[in-house]
Amino acid sequence: MLSLRLPRLFRVDQIPQVFREQGILFGYRHPQSSATACILSLFQMTNETLNIWTHLLPFWFFTWRFVTKFYGTNIQNDSYSWPLLVYMGTSCVYPFASSCAHTFSSMSQKARHICYFLDYGAVNLFSLGSAIAYLAYVFPDTLMHTLFHDCYLSLAVLNTLFSTGLACYSRFLEMQRSRLYKVLRVLAFAYPYICISLPVLYRLFLLPGDSALREATLYHQKHIAMTLLASFFYSAHVPERLAPGRFDYIGHSHQLFHVCVVMATHLQMEAIILDKSLRKDWLLTTSKPLSLAQISGAILVSLLFSLINIIYFSAALYRVSEHEGHKKET
């Protein structure tokens, strides 16, 4: 009879420092798990299980939204919808990459870092997708055809490169300079988010009385509020920091962070779809839709340099390991 044995779990004092999470005491997987054991852990309650599923299930939801939105449409000849296509496509990429990173991050110390390097790249690709959608549909009337409007896409691409590089670099400081690494990690995602959100923030705080876009504005407000809540959980490590060991499996901050991020993306998506519909006539008469060259160029440049960042920092992991090995020998 075929029997399936689930992998053994460990306490925080039984695993290397790099795998430990603040306030999480039990439920750790083996720090050198096989790929099979990692996949089996999806169906075993560990302290990573809900981290995986809180992004794996939304991946399928956003994929369903993507398919149903564009099924049967002549997208090839509808250049006005191309930015939404890119945005909704990247909204499927980041939860899938995150769920994979959490699934396979216990294979080894190097694998853990590389998994999260790829995760950071996917998050920043989504950030660029959001910027493309904002530029196409959300920019307030008074900022159209300004220097900021003209430079916005280039700024968004530069932000993805900065964010990916800084987030990857911060992992090298995780053990030696934990406070600095936390500051850099938060900065790596907060700064680009604020930059690409400036058109939305301008609309919310300086143009609050546009009744025609009231429904879209409400979604934008909820999206900002949910993002702030996600940032709080990500940086504060609450509630597990207040009661270590009580939230190891269910309810710790990273799970709550994932839920808030997914909700924020859903609200953002609804806001963008509403803006695309409500502002279509005005946008088509006052500005040209983003060209295929602009969209594909931004995506390709971001992908290329993000991959260069990821490859560089992945190779640096091996250089650091070799250097530490030589130190021990001498």
pLDDT digits (tens, 9 = 90+) for 115-140: 999 999 999 999 999 999 999 999 99
| Cα four-point dihedral sign 298, 301, 304, 310 | negative
Residue 290: what pLDDT?
A: 94
Choice between 157 and 330, residue whose per-residue pLDDT is larger: 157
Cα–Cα distance between 191 and 193 in angstroms, integer?
5
Query: DSSP of 212-269, one letter per residue?
Result: GGHHHHHHHHHHHHHHHHHHHHHHH-TTTTTSTTSSSSSS-HHHHHHHHHHHHHHHHH
Residues facing 10 on adjacent strands: 28
- The pLDDT tens digits of the residues spanning 229-274 come to 999 999 999 999 999 999 999 999 999 999 999 999 999 999 999 9
Token digits for 36? 């099979």
Residue 157 contacts residue 124 (beta carbons within 8 Å)? no
pLDDT given for residue 31 in this prediction: 96
Per residue in 86-106, pLDDT (tens digit) is: 999 999 999 999 999 999 999
Residues 235, 241, 245, 246, CA torsion sign: negative
pLDDT in tens, 138-194: 999 999 999 999 999 999 999 999 999 999 999 998 867 778 888 999 999 999 999
What is the value of pTM for the model shown?
A: 0.94
Cis? peptide before 95, omega within 30° of 0: no
Among all chains, which residue has been given the structure tokens 């990429």? 93
Cα gap 11→37, rounded to integer Å: 17
Domain boundaries, the chain: 45-69+80-324
| Least-confidence region, from 224-228, 298-302, 322-326 | 322-326
Helices (H), 77-177: 82-104, 109-133, 147-170
Residue 3 pLDDT > 90 = no
Return the pLDDT at 212. Answer: 63
State the first-to-last Cα distance of the chain, in angstroms, to the nearest integer.
53
- The pLDDT value recorded for residue 4 is 62
Is a pLDDT exceeding 60 seen at residue 50?
yes
Choose the most confident range, by mean pLDDT, from 22-36, 180-194, 198-212, 307-321. Answer: 22-36
Write down the mean pLDDT value for the chain: 92
Rounded distance, CA 187 to CA 121, Å?
Answer: 15
Q: Do the Cβ atoms of 43 and 261 come closer than 8 Å?
A: no
- Cα angle value 148/153/155 (rounded, 5°): 70
Q: Which two tokens stand for residue 59?
A: 């991946």
Residue 327 has pLDDT above 80, yes or no: no
Q: Which token pair is 225?
A: 């509020």
Question: What are 62-94's pLDDT values in tens digits?
Answer: 999 999 999 988 999 999 999 999 999 999 999
Structure tokens at 281: 């006539």
pLDDT tops 50 at residue 17: yes
Q: Is the pLDDT of residue 325 over 60?
A: no
pLDDT at 214: 87
Map residue 10 onto helix, strand or coil: strand
Contact between residue 103 and residue 41 where contact means Cβ atoms under 8 Å apart: yes
Residue 226 and residue 263 in contact, taking contact as beta carbons nearer than 8 Å: yes
Q: Which CATH number fits domain 45-69+80-324: 1.20.58, 3.30.70, 2.40.50, 1.20.1070?
A: 1.20.1070
pLDDT at 324: 56
Confidence of residue 2 (pLDDT cuts 50, 70, 90): very low
For residue 209, pLDDT over 90 is answered with: no
Residue 323 confidence (pLDDT): 52
Is the confidence at residue 1, as pLDDT, over 50?
Answer: no
